[in-house]
Copies of this chain bind each other. A is one copy, B any other.
Amino acid sequence: MAEYEYVGMPVEEIDTPVLLVALEALEANIAKLARHFRESGKQLRPHTKSHKTPAIALKQLEAGAIGITCAKLGEAEAMADVGIRDILMANEVIGAKKIGRLMELARRCDIMVAVDNPENLAQLEEEAGRAGVKPRILLEINIGHNRCGVAAGSPAAVELARAAARCQHLHFCGIMGYEGHVVDLEDRAAREGGAHECLQRLVDTRAEVEREGIAVEICSASGTGDYYLSTTYAGITEVQAGSYALMDAAYGKLGLGFEYALTVLTTVISRPSPERVITDAGLKALTPEHGLPVVKNHPELECHALSEEHGRLRTLQGTSSLQVGKVLEFIPGHGCTTVNLYDQLYAIRAGKLEAIWPVAGRGKVR
C-alpha cells in the first residue's frame, strides 16, 4: 500500500495521477463475456496484455476462462507466479535467453507458444528435449493483419504444421490468427465484414492442416471488437479478447455493451482562464495513439491536448467553475498502453479504495 493511501479512503482523496479500476464495471464486463462463452459453448482465454495484473486474471479464470493469453514472457512469468497454469504465449519466442525462460515456464505451468518459422521450431524442439519438458505449440497464421504469421492457406503453413506435428518434445495443438487490423474499427459493417474474411482464412487453414491427417485441437482468434463472430465458427475453439475487462474510450465507440472500468484520476492544477482547465495527467500518465481521453461525468469539458505532464481541457461552451485542487477522471483512449505506464492499479468499489494491485506484468519489459 502506498504511503498516503489506505483501504476505505474515498477516491477523491487519493493523490494523483493514479490509475483506477472501478470494480463494479470490471466485474460486470467479466461476467458479461463469461456468460457469452458459456452460452456459445466456446472457450475464452483472455489476453492479459491489457491489464498485466494477476488479480484481474484470477477474476477472469474464476468466471470461467479456460486459461490466459500473454504477449511476452515477463507477463507469463508474473501470471505463473500467482499459480496460473494454462498460459498461451501468443508471440514468437526468439533467442537463446528467452527460449531458456520459456522452458523454465514449461516446468512451472502448461505453457503454449506461437511459432511462425521452421528455424524457431527446431530450436524449441531441441531446447525442450534438453530441458525435459514438452511445451504446446500453436502455429501463428497471417489471416490478413500482415504482422507475424505464416500466410493463411499457403504451402508453408501446411509444411510448418507437418514439421511441428513431427516434433518429439513439442505438443502441436493447432493454430492461431489475429485480425488486429479490423478488430477495433468503429464502422460495424467494415469491422464485421473484415473479421469474417479473416476468420474464414483461419478455418480454411485449419481444414488444410487436418486434411494432412494432423489433429487441430485449438484454433484461436479475435479480440474485444469481434469475439461474438468467432464463436459462430465451428472451426474456432477459443478467443483471445482482452480489452473488454477494463475498456477504453476507443473501444467505447464500438457500442459493445461493456462499461468503462479504467480511469486516470487527475487533479486540476491551474485555471489560467475561465475556459481553460489544466490537470496533472499528461502523456506520461495516459497514451494518445488511439485518441485523447474523455473526461468522465463532465460532458462540458474536452481534452484537446496532452503535454508530457499536463492534461489540457477546454469548456465546450461557456466557462467552468472547477477549482484548482478538484479531481477528475480521464477515460484513456487506449487502455492497454496506459496500464503499461503504471506499477499499481487502484481498485475502487462504491467510490472507496478497496485494494492496490501490482501491475506485475509491467516493468519486465521483455
Binding site for B on A (CB under 8 A): 4, 15-18, 49, 71-72, 91-92, 94-95, 97-98, 116-117, 119-120, 142, 146-151, 180, 267-272, 276, 278, 280, 283-285, 287-289, 307-310, 312, 324-325, 336-337, 340-343, 363, 365-366
Contacts of A91 in B (CB 8 A): 269, 280, 309-310
Q: Is the CB of A116 within 8 A of B272?
A: yes
* This protein's copies in its complex: 2
CA separation between A309 and B366, bound complex, in Å?
Answer: 10
The answer, among B287, B312, B365, for a CB contact under 8 Å with A283, is B287
Contacts of A308 in B (CB 8 A): 49, 71, 336-337
Q: Is the CB of B337 within 8 A of A284?
A: yes
Shortest A271–chain B CB gap in Å is: 7
Q: Is the CB of B289 within 8 A of A283?
A: yes
CA separation between A71 and B120, bound complex, in Å?
Answer: 45
Shortest A269–chain B CB gap in Å is: 5
Q: Is the CB of B97 within 8 A of A4?
A: yes
Q: Is the CB of A17 within 8 A of B366?
A: yes
Contacts of A49 in B (CB 8 A): 308-309
Shortest A247–chain B CB gap in Å is: 16
**Residues A269 and B148 in contact in the complex (CB < 8 Å), given A15-B95, A16-B366, A94-B325:** yes
CA separation between A142 and B337, bound complex, in Å?
Answer: 31
Contacts of A148 in B (CB 8 A): 269-270, 272, 278, 310
Contacts of A120 in B (CB 8 A): 324
Nearest opposing residue in chain B for A2, CB measure = B366
CA separation between A294 and B352, bound complex, in Å?
Answer: 45
Nearest opposing residue in chain B for A120, CB measure = B324
CA separation between A312 and B89, bound complex, in Å?
Answer: 19
Q: Is the CB of B325 within 8 A of A341?
A: no
Contacts of A15 in B (CB 8 A): 95, 97-98, 366
